[in-house]
Chain A
Amino acid sequence: MSSAETMSDPCRLPPAPGGEMTDRVRRLRDGILAEKPGICLDRVRIYTRVHQEREDQPIIVRRALALKETLARMRIRLDDGELLAGCHASRPRAAPIFPEYSVSWILEELDDFERRPGDAFHLSGEDKSTLREILPWWKGKTLFDKGLALMTEELRDIYAAGLIHPDGILTCGDGHIAIYHEKLLEMGIGGYLREVDERLAGLDSRLAGDVGKRLFYQAVKTSLEGMALYIGRFADLAGKQAEAVASPGRKRELVRLAEACRRLTSEPAGSFFEALQMACFSQLILQIESNGHSLSLGRLDQYLFPYYRRDFLAGRLDGAEAVELLQCLWLKLMSVNKIRGWKHTRFSAGSPLYQNVTIGGQTPEGDDAVNALSYLILRSVGGARLPQPNLSVRYHKGLPEAFLLECLEVIGLGFGMPAFNNDEIVVPEFIRLGVEPADARDYAAIGCIETAVPGRWGYRCTGMSFLNFMRVLLAALANGRDPVSGKTFREGEGDFTDFTSFGQVMRAWERQAHFYARALVATDTAIDLAIEENVPDPLCSAFTDSCLERGLTIKEGGSKYDFISGLQVGVANLGNSLAAIKKLVFEDKLLAADELLRHLDSNFAGPEGERVRLLLLNRAPKFGNDDDYVDELTARAYGLFIDEYERHVTTRHGRGPVGCRYYAGTSSVSANVPQGATVPATPDGRKAWQPLAEGSSPASGTDRQGMTAVFKSIAKLPTRRILGGVLLNQKLSPSVLRTESDRRKLAGLLRSFFDDLKGWHVQYNIVDRETLLAAKREPEKYRDLVVRVAGYSAFFSVLAPDTQDDIIARTEQKL
């Protein structure tokens, strides 16, 4: 279908982005926002019981049985006014517990959940006691335990020292995936069950390999049955409410819902409403199956469009109704909550789920893919002003100007969405990696800014193993000794004070960077094997090509493609530090090496320390100002790390998927704050324990030349080797997007950044400093203030104070 045809649809679009919500949506939204985040014990109770009762069964079968039992028995509800059904837990915003991933942090932190400075969770004393009873059974059986056991002692020490932070995967599993929604909508649960039965019938039990396949298919079947049971329960619930309700309007809604759910227990989706409801169910259920976050919805405007179009042309649906339904889906996404260990919470401030929705981009043939639904999704997100979903727009050269301008208008509403990904680099680079062109053009944003092809790509297109670049650099300057733990994991090239040239500094960096690149891969390998063995996900695998065909879970190599990235934190600090050393120590000779080290040790104490700090800060070039001296140094140093990192393969290598390789990534979410909190003073003039630079963005307050210079600096990074994402967060004052003329100028800037400079991503925080300061002082008054943290948006008021400070400190680009 050509884009001209799709756009000529006489869609009665609701008028303005961020237009009014309906009373229903507003009421439901108020209800969810008023919910205090809590803990729901349904899942942990059922999972524990099934695991205890069915210890005889292989793990994949046991997990499927636990999922089915949970879906059949967890408490569900359907609130007054709700158009869409589905529950993630017994209450909105209540986080289920996933004991099979890790329990030690839960038992340790149980009493502190309510007292956290940010992201507090509330639970009753009785629930605490229950958890204390249930959880100890899991000790030694969890992913966390098994993963640690598979790591070498050295890797455990590196982890303990905080140089590599794999807690995201080690305590929660992978996440970061989008399933094949088109297929699920077209086949329905019944279609999948038939396929599984056929495949089971074709197995030969005499073959060892087929035994594993049989277990997988059995587990898939059990999971699909659980899914049907769960959906059927909502059909019953809606039906019962329909009988009891007095209002004829509400009765009609409930009858529609009951009928849709009844159908969806086995049939394909037959309408926009059913398709949306199915996307909602699968999104919730997959987040009950496993605990990894960033489960994303993929290209919602593409796979829902045929349903929307058919209903629209038949007069069964108009744009305003579609927006209301979409907003009901956003509220369902909002109701999902996740509790992480405190250590990891600081890496993901604001309890985000990173449920990404992608719109725009190109068709598999390379035409513009924007359609009426793209606009409706954009407007519905603008109108709802919620931190979920995480909305991403795929930019490409042919993106209609009107659409781009409307994106900027929504950005101007000031809650950090949408973010942009750039087809002009993602598509050709994916093709270069071996992705089929039609698949490459079908990619979506996953989680924050990272990208993968929905339904065809394995878990974790972003690695989740964070490497702290600045700790590595400090070790490079100290003959390999990590200054925080005092340990030498890899002997260096000597002490900085003995270096006679800057080249030696770079060699020392390279040596350490290579060592830690290998340590990152080794950490991932251990954890990946532990995930494969201990927490397989049959349902998510079933919805990912080519798992059913191969009879393998995703972790066993079932997916068509498999590329992952690590997360490197402190890119700008690395470049700035090297530039300061090169310029001030070796070229201008304003500082002696021992003098610099002394002041780093003392955290720039005393007036002389402050003088040295300012010298480092002000008298050496900084990344983000389009200064080749430091920009090229940053790119070179990062490149040295990537040289080693991209040589390695994942645990799926040779088992089926295309790729199975690593590339770099900087979608480091809010990790820059806690990672900085473990780093002593650094040669870029940054004081000890302060945040590092976020993603690939310039270090806070050091970009002084404006947005164009930032774009130019970012573009000098080796983007095509950082396909895990080059995160650029720009904060703009609201004035920037006030008039149409301003928006046109910004649109032009974006086109230059994407078309000519091949930028990867950019997102905007449109909030003025005063507002943020006020929100920090009086959080109650700003309960709905959403800010872009890094790759995602969160409520400002729930963030920890140091993350709030970091957001306030980021340079506000004034025009």
Chain B
Amino acid sequence: MIFNIQRFSLHDGDGVRTVVFFKGCPLRCAWCANPESQAFAPELLYDPEKCLGCRACVRAAPNGELYWRDGLCLRRDSGIAAGRFAAVCPAEALSLAGEEKEADEILAVVERDRVFYRGKGGITLSGGEPFAQPGLAARLAERAKGRGLTVAAETSLAVPWDCLAPSLPFLDQIFADVKHLDADKYRRGTGGDLALPLGNLARLAADGIPITVRVPVIPGFNSKPGELEAMADFAASLGNVTALNLLPYHDYGRGKYRLLGREYPYAGVKSIPPESLAAAADRLRRPGLEVGVGG
């Protein structure tokens, strides 16, 4: 299941790339900018500001999954056929996140930009967590590789090694999140087990695949100088990591929580302007480790 295919990406690997966003993630980072990427099932996003009140969706919901009472009401827990309702909405007030797509279907879209890849560009698996759907990830990676495209992945690595392994032979490049090095804090911030990404990183180091480490810099979670220093030291210690990118926290995702009918857990936390991380980046430079700000 994927929730988006984004063409013309310049910052997710070498060359021009098409990014495939897998839906579903084992982590629940409170600052997540793509909340629609978390659940493994399709979801309906509803934007009341775009809604015309035409009720085309209500008419398409004989079982009352959607109904009108001083506005549109959604029963989000009913496993509703999100796609059907999004399709009838003229105003794009209802939109669908999450579609089952087979590897070849996805690759047909990726192929449309073949002329722009020029031997460098290709496909980037992203998410959500691409390796939480190990079968689809491996099929996409293998077939893309077979068609002469380069394959990159953006991952939290918060999956068992077995999920990662089938894709590995076909990956040219990995962008791996390192969010924290303290297991407790990691668990509190993401709900995940730090042992998974750390173990995977160690095995990937042995494997030698080129890795760019990405650190989302989140105020109140990992933004203290000491925390950042520790992560830079750790990244530098892995032989196959050549670059570290600081991704400044932003709240662009906030609107999507509203569309999903969810509270934004990081409400009130201010975005960090990329410029203000430049000084921090300078301090994190290590021999053999390039440090940059932004993706």
**Chain A interfacial positions (CB closer than 8 Å to B):** 607, 610-612, 614-615, 618-619, 626, 705-709, 711-712, 736, 742, 745-746, 748-749, 751-752, 756-757, 813, 815
Contact = CB atoms under 8 A, between A and B. Distances in A.
A610 B116 contact: no
Given A614-B90, A614-B92, A619-B90, A757 B10 contact: no
B68 interface: no
A706 B112 CA distance: 12
Nearest to B50: A614
B91 interface: yes
Contact of A626 (B10, B16, B90, B112): B112
Given A748-B16, A757-B115, A611 B91 contact: yes
B126 to A, nearest CB: 15
A127 B240 CA distance: 77
A712 B16 CA distance: 14
Interface of B: 6-11, 15-16, 52-54, 90-92, 112-113, 115-116, 118, 120-121
B46 to A, nearest CB: 15
B242 to A, nearest CB: 14
A712 B8 CA distance: 12
A711 B113 CA distance: 10
A748 B116 contact: yes
30 contacts: A607-B54, A610-B52, A611-B54, A611-B90, A614-B52, A615-B90, A618-B90, A618-B92, A619-B90, A705-B7, A705-B8, A706-B7, A706-B8, A707-B8, A708-B7, A708-B16, A708-B112, A709-B7, A709-B8, A742-B10, A745-B15, A745-B16, A746-B10, A748-B116, A749-B16, A751-B118, A752-B115, A756-B115, A757-B115, A815-B10
B116 A752 contact: yes
Contacts of A712: 112-113, 115
Contacts of A742: 10
Given A711-B116, A748-B118, A752-B115, 18 more contacts: A607-B52, A611-B54, A614-B52, A614-B90, A626-B112, A706-B6, A706-B8, A708-B113, A708-B116, A709-B7, A742-B10, A748-B116, A748-B121, A749-B116, A756-B115, A813-B8, A815-B9, A815-B10
A618 B116 CA distance: 27
A792 B207 CA distance: 53
B88 to A, nearest CB: 9
Nearest to A608: B54
Contacts of B91: 611, 614, 618
Contacts of B53: 607
Given A706-B7, A708-B16, A815-B9, A748 B92 contact: no
Main secondary structure of the interface of A (DSSP, over half): helix
B53 to A, nearest CB: 7
Contacts of A751: 118
Contacts of A626: 7, 112
A618 B52 CA distance: 14
Nearest to B18: A708
A813 B8 CA distance: 10
B161 to A, nearest CB: 32
A751 B121 CA distance: 14
Nearest to B118: A748
Given A618-B90, A709-B7, A611 B52 contact: yes
Contacts of A711: 116
A616 to B, nearest CB: 9
B253 to A, nearest CB: 15
A174 B90 CA distance: 47
A622 to B, nearest CB: 13
A587 to B, nearest CB: 14
A751 B8 CA distance: 15
A752 B112 CA distance: 13
A736 B112 CA distance: 22
Contacts of B112: 626, 708-709, 712
Contacts of A815: 8-11
A708 B122 CA distance: 13
Contacts of B6: 706
Q: Which 5 residue pairs across A and B have the least CB separation, nearest first? A: A706-B8, A615-B90, A614-B90, A708-B8, A752-B116
Nearest to B292: A739
B20 to A, nearest CB: 14
